[in-house]
Amino acid sequence: MSELFFDIPIEKYQTLSESERYVLKYIVKHINEIPSMSIVKLSEEANVSTATIVRLMKKIGYDGFTSFKYSIKDLTKTVNSENSIDMIEKKINTAIKKNEFEVLNTIKMLSLGNIEDAIQKIHHAEKIYVFARGFSEMIANEITIKLQLLGKNCEMHNDPNIIRVISKKLKDTEIAIFVSLSGETKELVDACLNLKMKSISTITLTAGVDSSLANLSEIVLLGYKGTQSFFPDYEVRSRLPLQVISRILLDAYVIRMF
C-alpha cells in the first residue's frame, strides 16, 4: 500500500515543504495505523502541527485528513477482502473435493451383484418396510415415496418402539430396508437381529463397513464416508453416500423392471 504514495507526480512532490515530506514519510511508514488515527493523534505522533497535515492532504489531492483516512480504510478493506475471499475459496474447494471424493468412492464400492440382488428382493416382495432414524429419515422417506410411485406396497417408520415391534411381525414374503450412516443405531440393529432370526430378507444402506447392521443384513450396499466433518461437535454428518446409493438402486430398479 505504501507504494501508492510514491505515485504522486514529481511536480506536486516538489511543492511539499520539508515538514510535509516528513509527515508523508511518516504516514507511509505507519499506513496500517492511519485509518484509526485522528488528526490530533497523528499530529502528536509525528510531532507536527495539524495545519501541516491539512496542507499536505490538500497538496496530494484530498479535501482533508478525514477524506484521506476514509480512502485508506476502503483500500484496506479491499485488500483484506481479497485475502479473505482467497481463503474462503480454498475452504469451499476443500468442501467440494470432500463431497466429490465421497461420491466417487461410494460408486467404486458398489457391487453390481448386490444391486441386482436388492432389485430382485424389492421386486418380489409383497410389502417393503423402510426403517431409519435421524438425518437418514429423509433418504428413507424418498425411497418409500419412489417405491410407492412405482406401485410397491411400502411404508417407512422412524419411531424406535414401532421399529422394534414391526420387525417381530414381518412375514417371509416381506422385506425390510435399513438406512443408517454408521450402521450402529441401536433400534435398527435390534430390528435387523429380529429379522435375521426369522430369516426375513433385509437390505442395508450404510457407510459402516464392519458395522452391526452390515454384519446382520442379508444384502449390504456400502458407501464411503470421509473422516472430515465441518460440524465436528454434532452428529450431523452428511448422508451423501447413502443418497448416492439410494439413487443408483432406485434408478437401476426402474431400468430393470420397466
pLDDT digits (tens, 9 = 90+) for 48-84: 999 999 999 888 888 888 888 877 776 655 545 555 5
pLDDT tier, 37 (very low <50, low <70, confident <90, very high otherwise): confident
Burial of 122 from C-beta contacts in 10 A (0-12 / 13-18 / 19+): buried
Parse the chain into domains and list their residue ranges.
2-76, 110-257
Backbone angles phi and psi of 210, in degrees to 5: -115, 35
DSSP 95: H
Single pTM value for the model: 0.66
3-state secondary structure of 203: strand
Q: Which helix (H) or strand (E) holds 256?
A: helix 240-257
Instruction: State the fold for domain 2-76.
Output: Arc Repressor Mutant, subunit A (1.10.10)
Fold observed for domain 110-257: Rossmann fold (3.40.50)
Residues 6+ positions from 143 with CB-CB distance below 8 Å? 130, 154, 156, 177, 179, 246, 250
Report pLDDT for 31: 82
- DSSP H helices, 7-159, are 10-14, 18-29, 39-46, 50-59, 65-109, 112-124, 136-149
Average pLDDT over residues 112-124: 96
Beta-carbon contacts of residue 25 (< 8 Å; ≥ 6 apart): none
